[in-house]
A = this chain, B = another copy of it.
Amino acid sequence: MLTTILKVQSTSNFSCHSITEEIEGFLETTQQLEGVVCVFSQHSTVAMIINEMEERLILDLGKWLEEMAPTAQGYKHDDLELRKNIPEDEPRNAHSHLRALLLGNQVSVPFKDGKLLLGKYQDIIMVELDGPRERNIVCSIQ
Contacts and interface: CB of A to CB of B under 8 A. Distances in A.
Interface stretch (A6-14, A17-25, A106-114): A106-114
Interface of A, secondary structure class, is mixed
B57 A97 contact: yes
Contact of A117 (B42, B60, B94): B42
Given A54-B77, A57-B76, A44 B119 contact: yes
Interface string A123-135: 0000000000000
Interface residues of A, number: 55
3 tightest A-B CB contacts, nearest first: A42-B119, A110-B140, A56-B76
28 contacts: A3-B110, A36-B140, A40-B109, A40-B110, A40-B117, A42-B118, A42-B119, A43-B119, A44-B51, A44-B52, A44-B122, A49-B101, A51-B101, A52-B97, A56-B77, A59-B76, A59-B77, A61-B97, A61-B98, A64-B69, A64-B98, A68-B68, A104-B104, A105-B107, A106-B107, A106-B108, A106-B109, A117-B140
